[in-house]
Amino acid sequence: MPDGLAAGLLAGVNPVFGLYGYLIGTIGGALAAGSVLMTVQATGAMAVIISDVPQTQTGDGAGIVLATLAFLTGLTMFGLGLAGAGRLVRFIPTAVFVGFINAVAVSIVLGQLDTVTGYTSSGDNRVARALDTALHLFEFDWLTVLVGLVTIALVMVLERTPLGALGMVAAVAVGSGAAALLGQGLANLATGLFQGMPVGGSMSATALVRSAGGRSALANLVAAIVMALVILVLGQVIGFIAMPALAGLLILVGIRAVKPRDIAMVMRTGPIQLTVLTVTFVLTLIIPLQYAVIVGVGLAIVLHVARQSNRVVVKRWEFGPHAHLPVETDPPRVLAKSEVVVLVTYGSLFFASAPVFSSQLPEARGDCTGTVVILRLRGKDELGSTVIKVLEKYAADLRSAGGMLVLAGVNQRVHRQLRDTKVLEQLRAERVLTESPQLGESLQRALRYASEWQAAQQEGSE
């Protein structure tokens, strides 16, 4: 009960709506969620999102707006589940997730300062309102502050006793698969019908069910039934619960939801991950959560593309007369006459890396008669039109200088791309050698072809 009421308070709506969402969401999630143990309830992240929708907090129709929002949330999640959108969760980097979770934790704390201090702050966002509250220390209602502090102290003391399992847990939305999205969607549809606030999957509540010995969805059903009985028996008592007490609970939850170890891990990973975490964290505090996550994911993708585009490396493999393995060296800047140059590429070949890749290829300047460049492409599943144009131009430059380009280790997908774009005809099909299960076999064929071609060139010149 306190958890559901606190979720409603955090969302800025009637706490009873949070209680309804908690109850109906738990039942709906137990019956429909893809995971037998996943708990669906009114979460802190969802509550913070709702708090950014003012129509749910004021006016005579606020309850209807909230129920409509829950119903539409259910329809959206159900539709995404049918479309298999649960797979998209893997595109959310850990840096975004850590920044989001910790910012939600801070938002939970900042969002309760008015309630726990008795001072009505002003500002465009939670950070501005928190600063306004800090600057008006002498306008606090200290009895209200005392209620919040006593609540926090009681929770910390009671959780050291056998009653600790009944303590409030932090509820934060967790990414899930398609089946879980379907279940959460159905739970939100049911919650909307009963005028509760939107719900989502909760990591911590699910962990609590597991630690309590839950082995199936029956555990969540029993929890919902017990909650319903408590509401029926103690329904009159709900109105006497002090809002500062709930605010104190939420502040404690927010503080404990901060994960310094996760933040430190991301910081040590590198500057790009730190940038993504910082941007996501700051934006989550000042703009609606959903937009902050979108910006964080978008920034992570852009930075990843930029980093990968600059990590393409072209190396030369030189084979000794009796050596079984090649020696890797830097490629020559300019090709010499009648030499065979074997090149290998490391990194992703795509549109953004094409200029970097092109700049590292040896230049075909002057007389390159009899020169063969063998480009090993094993492991490259797709090239894209930009890289294919680079290969087409490089092959043309070699031909103009009297040389030849041979591609080795080409997989079927890349071969099909070259064929469909008509570039295979310009390269000549016999000079595009497909890969084989035996490593190095395609490269050996390319070397033999180069040797035969050079011999034919010499005979023709004689």
Please tell me whether residues 247 and 347 are part of one structural domain.
no
pLDDT digits (tens, 9 = 90+) for 418-461: 999 999 999 999 999 999 999 889 999 999 999 999 888 877 65
Please tell me whether residues 252 and 317 are part of one structural domain.
no
Beta bridge partners of 173: 202
The pLDDT, as a whole number, for residue 42 is 75
Please tell me whether residues 252 and 347 are part of one structural domain.
no
Please tell me whether residues 223 and 328 are part of one structural domain.
no
Q: Residue 18 contacts by C-beta under 8 Å, 6 or more apart in sequence?
A: 4, 5, 6, 7, 8, 9, 10, 11, 42, 47, 196, 197
Please tell me whether residues 386 and 255 are part of one structural domain.
no
- Please give the mean pLDDT across all residues of the chain: 83
Q: Is residue 326 part of a domain?
A: yes
Please tell me whether residues 235 and 364 are part of one structural domain.
no
The pLDDT, as a whole number, for residue 233 is 79
The domain containing residue 78 runs over which residues? Answer: 2-263
Calculate mean pLDDT across residues 161-165: 56
The pLDDT, as a whole number, for residue 310 is 86
d(Cα 187, Cα 205) in Å, to the nearest integer?
16
The pLDDT, as a whole number, for residue 216 is 67
The pLDDT, as a whole number, for residue 2 is 66
Q: What does each C-alpha distance from 339 to 46, 243, 271 come to in angstroms?
A: 65, 82, 43
Q: Is residue 283 part of a domain?
A: no
Please tell me whether residues 245 and 319 are part of one structural domain.
no
The pLDDT, as a whole number, for residue 343 is 95
The pLDDT, as a whole number, for residue 220 is 76
d(Cα 396, Cα 384) in Å, to the nearest integer?
19
First CA to last CA across the chain, in angstroms?
Answer: 95
> Where among 263, 278, 302 does a domain terminate?
263
Q: Is the dihedral of CA 226, 230, 232, 233 positive or negative?
A: positive
Q: Give the model's confidence band at 33: pLDDT under 50 very low, under 70 low, under 90 confident, else very high.
A: low
Is residue 238 exposed (0-12), middle (13-18) or buried (19+ Cβ within 10 Å)?
middle
Please tell me whether residues 35 and 178 are part of one structural domain.
yes
With 60 as the cut, is the pLDDT of residue 169 above it? no
CATH assignment at residue 411:
3.30.750.24
Please tell me whether residues 232 and 152 are part of one structural domain.
yes
Q: Is residue 278 part of a domain?
A: no
CB 404 within 8 A of CB 431: yes
Please tell me whether residues 256 and 317 are part of one structural domain.
no
- Assign 277 to helix, strand or coil: helix
Q: What does each C-alpha distance from 296 to 64, 190, 285 come to in angstroms?
A: 32, 31, 13
Please tell me whether residues 112 and 47 are part of one structural domain.
yes
Q: What percent of the chain has pLDDT over 70?
A: 88
Calculate mean pLDDT across residues 155-164: 69
Q: Is residue 136 part of a domain?
A: yes
Q: Give the model's confidence band at 177: pLDDT under 50 very low, under 70 low, under 90 confident, else very high.
A: low
The reported pTM is 0.70
pLDDT digits (tens, 9 = 90+) for 212-260: 566 666 777 777 788 788 778 777 776 667 778 778 877 887 888 888 9
pLDDT digits (tens, 9 = 90+) for 67-118: 888 888 888 888 888 887 777 777 788 899 899 888 888 888 888 888 888 8
Q: Is residue 269 part of a domain?
A: no
Residue 385, H or E segment = helix 384-400
Count of domains observed in the chain: 2
Q: What percent of the chain has pLDDT over 90?
A: 27
With 50 as the cut, is the pLDDT of residue 176 above it? no
pLDDT digits (tens, 9 = 90+) for 319-362: 877 777 889 999 999 999 989 999 999 998 989 999 999 999 99
Q: Is residue 276 part of a domain?
A: no
With 50 as the cut, is the pLDDT of residue 167 above it? no
The pLDDT, as a whole number, for residue 173 is 40
More confident residue, 212 or 53: 53
Q: What DSSP state is assigned to residue 238?
A: G
Q: Residue 341 contacts by C-beta under 8 Å, 6 or more apart in sequence?
A: 316, 331, 332, 335, 362, 371, 372, 373, 374
Beta strand 372-376 with 404-410 is parallel
> Where among 263, 297, 326 does a domain terminate?
263
Q: What DSSP state is assigned to residue 330?
A: P
Please tell me whether residues 69 and 137 are part of one structural domain.
yes
More confident residue, 405 or 114: 405
> Where among 263, 292, 321 does a domain terminate?
263
